[in-house]
């Protein structure tokens, strides 16, 4: 599990940095200020939770309940895909309905962090 989530977290860090740079240097003049703010929110949550995946990889072998640790990582990864992914797509396409699924990603983030806390209990 350690290796898998180190790879997934690292790739997501790479993507969040690349998308952040793309947004700052390419999209800034193309997106409305509102969409740019949305894009920046997507990047911030993407980066924070990619770091979270790396944290889980570091902690994984130190926590007793490996099933909860794995579920925590999966939920956070799903959160990145749904939360940040829907916001990225909203910014690029303008399809406002995508904003309706964003909170599902937020719930996945919350559930993932809760699961990690439960995994740390003895």
Query: What would the pLDDT profile of 3-34 be if each residue is shown by its tens digit?
Result: 888 999 999 999 999 999 998 888 878 888 99
Cβ–Cβ < 8 Å for 36, 28: yes
Dihedrals phi, psi of 29, to nearest 5 degrees: -85, -15
The chain-wide mean pLDDT, for the chain, equals: 93
pLDDT at 2 over 80: no
Locus of tokens 């409305």:
32
- pLDDT for res 46: 98
pTM of the model: 0.92
Give the side-chain half-sphere CA count within 13 A for 96: 1
DSSP state, residue 63: S
Average confidence (pLDDT) over 37-58: 96
CA angle, 79 then 83 then 85, to 5°:
105
- pLDDT for res 106: 98
Angstrom distance (rounded) from CA 40 to CA 77: 19
Dihedrals phi, psi of 69, to nearest 5 degrees: -60, -45
Domain ranges of the chain: 2-120
- pLDDT for res 93: 92
- pLDDT for res 1: 66
3-state helix, strand, coil in the chain (%, to 5): 90, 0, 10
Residue length of the chain = 122
């Amino acid at each position: 599990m350690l290796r898998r989530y180190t790879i997934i977290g690292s790739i997501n860090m790479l993507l969040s940095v690349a998308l952040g740079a793309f947004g700052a240097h390419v999209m800034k003049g193309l997106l409305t200020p509102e969409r740019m703010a949305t894009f920046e929110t997507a990047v911030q949550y993407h980066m924070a939770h990619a770091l979270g995946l790396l944290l889980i990889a570091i902690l994984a072998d130190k926590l007793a309940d490996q099933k909860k640790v794995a579920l925590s990582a999966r939920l956070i990864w799903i959160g990145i895909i749904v939360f940040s992914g829907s916001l990225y797509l909203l910014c690029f396409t303008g399809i406002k309905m995508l904003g309706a699924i964003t909170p599902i990603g937020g719930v996945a983030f919350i559930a993932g962090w809760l699961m990690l806390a439960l995994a740390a209990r003895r």
